[in-house]
Structure 1
Amino acid sequence: MNRLLRLRPRRWWATDPDVPVLEPPIRAGRWNVSWLLPSVLLASLVVADWTAPEHLRIVTWLGLVPALAAATCGVWTTVGFALGTLVTVGWLEYSLDHRYPVGLSDFLLVVTACVLSVLASALRLRAYHLVRQLEDAAQATRLAVLRPIPSRIGGVETANLYLAAERATKVGGDFFDVQPSPYGPRVLLGDVQGKGTSAVDAAAALLSAFREAAYYEADLAVVAERLESRMRRHNRYMALLGERGERFATAVLVGLPARDTGGLEMVNFGHEAPYAVTPERIWALPEGDGAPLGLTELTGALPPVRRVPFPAEATLLLYTDGVSEARNRANQFLPVEEELGRATDTAPRALVGLIEEAVLRHTGGRLTDDTTLLAVRRDPRPPPGGLALD
């Protein structure tokens, strides 16, 4: 289960240019019925003008028809409604023969409304395609940082989810990865402070350092030290480019031994406490008591490597504050542990789906922060050929 950058509710692989994203047409099942509203308005105004008293002329209101079409339909459909409107005005005048005919100024008003509606439709679609290109560029940027993670890799099963709170180019700094190594799989999840491309750049720097150090370093403390060093070097480099303020990142670094020893190693850089979930119980692992990455100089030391009991059948669930700080209309936080207690299946895919549904239900789909989930469990049936290393 690998879902990245979903923009309410677009999935990261939905790059087909024919798939509407920002302004989906009005549909009834599989049918596009965007033309229906302007058609109903046109028919209603014709009937109203036909049945209205002679002194009450509302035929000029027909200028609203192409205006509505411009908001819901394409350019050529809007052109069709504009021409249809002009024909309808002439037909009504000819058929009704009112004592109060539409004057030249009224007719020019309808013509102007038709022309402006066509121009507005063209500008709307142009803006739509521009925003679409920006959105696709943001997705490409995010995908370049958060590479897809196989559902089975390095002796573990995985599932992940990324829900973006912002649209188009506003991408956040959440990051995660699972790296196989000769010493067992290593897991990293975190959140860079701030938004935008500079936050994504910092996340990319941390992930690149993690992928190398996690594979080559036997000691998880050395991996943590490499991450801290990379964050500091990144901040110094960005300062030379003129960026004000230093970035920092909360993160959880986990190491699962190559052979099951009934536990795991964890370094928590001021991040939310992960959960361990089995069919029998749910418990939180140690919460972050150290400084975030990039700020450990303030404490004078890196967070310690903690060795925590972790059964082979347990699933490790890591998440960002988009989950723990998700609020409903009553400003109440999402009770993550309570939601996990409803799980009937503790597989990674099932837990990620359960929490995703809970977050969207709790917030009503109004995300205020990027939401990231990563679930990992030892693979009970690892593929033949040993660990998958890259």
Structure 2
Amino acid sequence: MGSRQGSAAFGQPWQSSHLLLLVPAALIVLITASDILAPTDIILGPLLVVAPALTAWFEGPWTTGGMGVMAVAGQALSGWHFGTLLTRPVIVQMIALAVLTVLVVVLCVVRDRRTRQLAQVRSVAEAAQHVLMWPLPSRLGTLQLASVYLAAEDEAEIGGDLYAAARTDSGARVMIGDVRGKGLSALGEAALLLGAFREAAHQHASLPELAGALERSMARYLADFEPDDEAEERFVTALLLEIPDDEPLVRMTSCGHLAPVLLGPDGQVTEADLHPAPPLGVGLQGSGGYPVDVLSFGPGDTLLLYTDGAVEARDRDGAFYPFSERAARWAGHPPEALLHHVERNLLAHTGGHLGDDVAIIAIRRIAIPHPSHRLEHAVQSGALGRGAPTGAGGPMAGG
């Protein structure tokens, strides 16, 4: 599962460097020597405050305080050299230098505390991400998968976008969705829908029936937990996919979600023609209102599923990110490498600031098993011996 790794490094605890300490120490020696050697009408002692201020950039409060003590000692050495150590100007300069050092140390303490808090928040966010949205497997039957998630809110690892995949006896089912809203406020609906999909993906023979089950789960949640004045404002767009092992196609049911993009091995881009139903949570009952669209999906093809944050991302001039065009540049790459390039290119387009959460899934068809291989697999797994129904209309086993 991807994330903004480049920016994450800035939130790590400040790293100490003994070599960098030579810089403020050398400044203290240089300024003190220059103050001693300079004419008496030129006073360089106040510049010693640069040393503790510089140390605070890469060290903690104790080291910064120690550098401040060295700076005060340098000021005292200069006053002792000129025989003015106990005069009012030198004493005032030493006190001022000590006070500024204390202020810098206090800022270091506040910064380090803030850094620890951010690290704790990030740790909790990562744990919540793994609990709610399990990483997609890199291989699922005849498919290679990869995913990336970019949260719009600073310091967040998860928000209102979601995805999940499940393996069935005859293929794989995948869902990608987008909760109305973004960030942490949308976690309730996201968690509900992920749990409902993982349970229902193995229990319903068709995508319309699966969509109907997810709608009923959303309706129960909204009725029990959402305020009445917000009931009509909470919904989820979702795209449900069924990819059979033995057919070069993908079946899709869109609940108000964006159509996927198909990348051919040669970089040809095809946008699926969908007939979307209303989003989940608006009260559509029964499975008859969920159309099923079919798209050719053969070996070597890559299917890209995404949320609207990917296509509505803007640069500083307001231009939208050309998602399909840019993704086609890396059509020949494996899914993980393809998404790596898209992620970097998207963040470069937006300057690292996203207006909405972004979730992208890349699915590549590797091959379609030969009929004899499928028969051998069925015998080895014991499916034929158990008398399990074969055929598209039979119930799907769990797990």
TM-score by length of 1: 0.83
Q: Distance in 1 between matches of 2:132 and 2:164?
A: 10
Partner Cα separation in structure 1 for residue 377 and residue 295 of structure 2: 29
Structure 1 residue 50: Cα displacement: 4.2
For the aligned residue pairs, the C-alpha RMSD in angstroms reads 3.3
**Structure with more of its chain in helix, by fraction:** 2
Q: Give the aligned partner of residue 11 of structure 2.
A: 22
Q: Deviations over 1:211-254 (max 9, x none)?
A: 11111211111111112222222222222699787421222111
User: Structure 1 residue 98: deviation in Å?
Assistant: 5.9
Amino acid at match of 1:109: A
Q: Equivalent pairs: percent with the same residue? A: 32
**Unmatched tracts of structure 2, length 5 or more:** 382-396
What's 1:274 paired with? Answer: 260
Mark the CA change 1:127 to 1:157 in structure 2 (over 3 Å): closer, same or farther: same
**Contact 1:340-1:355 at 8 Å conserved across structures:** yes
Shift in alpha-carbon separation, 1:25–1:213, aligned structure 2, 3 A: same
SS in 2 for 1:191: strand
Structure-1 residue corresponding to 2:115: 128
Counterpart selection for 2:93 from 92, 103, 106: 106
CA shift, 1:359, in A, is: 0.9
Change (3 A) 1:343 1:5: closer
1:333 aligns with 2:331: no
Q: Which residue in the other structure is 1:264 paired with?
A: 250
- Structure 2: how far apart are the matches of 1:242 and 1:271? 25
Residue of structure 2 equivalent to 1:55? 41
Structure 1: how far apart are the matches of 2:276 and 2:322? 22
Shift of 1:275: 0.7
Match of residue 91 from structure 1:
77
Q: TM-score, normalised by structure 2?
A: 0.82
1:196-215 Cα distance to aligned partner (Å, 9 max, x none): 43412211110111111111
Distance 2:260 2:26 in 1: 55
Is 2:148–2:360's contact at 8 Å kept on the other side of the alignment?
yes
CA–CA distance in structure 2, aligned partners of residues 61 and 291 of structure 1: 67
Query: 2: distance between equivalents of 1:211 and 1:23?
Result: 35
Once the two structures are TM-superposed, the CA of residue 318 in structure 1 deviates from its matched residue by 0.6
Q: Is the 8 A contact 2:309 2:356 kept in 1?
A: yes
CA distance in 2, matches of 1:241, 1:43: 70
Q: How does 1:298-317 map to 2 (within 5 A)?
A: 302-317=289-304
Q: Distance in 2 between matches of 1:347 and 1:118?
A: 50
Q: Which residue type is aligned with residue 148 of structure 1?
A: P
- Closer/same/farther in 2, CA of residues 242 and 289 from structure 1, 3 Å limit: closer
Retained in 1: the 8 A contact 2:170–2:245? yes
Cα gap change, 1:343 to 1:173, in 2 (>3 Å):
same
Alpha-carbon separation, structure 2, partners of 1:174 and 1:116: 43
Describe the SS at the equivalent of 1:215: coil
Matched residues in 2 for 1:33 and 1:193: separation? Answer: 50
SS in structure 2 at match of 1:120? helix
Cα shift readout 1:101-158 (whole Å, capped 9, x = no counterpart): 7343332221212222222212211121012101111111112111122211233211
Deviations 1:274-313 (A, max 9, x none): 1111113220112563322212549x97441212222233
Contact kept, 8 Å, 1:279 with 1:346, in 2: the verdict is: no
Equivalence map 1:33-44=2 (5 Å): 35=21, 38-39=24-25, 42=28
CA distance in 2, matches of 1:263, 1:228: 26
Paired with 2:121 and 2:182, the residues of 1 have a C-alpha distance of 16
Equivalent position to 1:237, from 210, 224, 247:
224
CA distance in 2, matches of 1:288, 1:65: 66
SS of equivalent to 1:194: coil
Moved more, 377-386 or 226-235: 377-386
Is 1:144 equivalent to 2:131 in the alignment?
A: yes
CA distance in 1, matches of 2:37, 2:108: 31
- Deviation of residue 323 (structure 1)? 1.6
**CA spacing shift, 1:333–1:379, aligned 2, 3 Å:** same
Distance 2:20 2:289 in 1: 58
Per-residue CA distance 1:4-56 (angstroms, 9 max, x = gap): 4435444xxxxxxxxx54156479xxx67654664465456446634654234
Match for residue 15 of structure 1? Answer: none
Say which one has the larger Rg: 2
For structure 1, which segment, 244-253 or 151-160, has the greater mean C-alpha deviation from structure 2 after superposition? 244-253
Do 1:276 and 1:283's aligned partners in 2 also have CA atoms closer than 8 Å? Answer: yes
Distance 1:371 1:152 in 2: 22
2:144 equivalent among 139, 153, 157: 157
- Structure 1 residue 291 corresponds to structure 2 residue 261: no
Distance 1:296 1:347, change over 3 A: farther
Partner of 2:393: none
1:358 corresponds, among 337, 340, 345, to 345
**Number of aligned positions between the proteins:** 374
Deviation string 1:164-193 (CA, Å, 9 cap, x unpaired) is: 232235741111111101242001111112
The residue type equivalent to 1:22 in the other structure is G
- Aligned in 2, Cα 1:70/1:231: closer, same or farther, shift over 3 Å? same
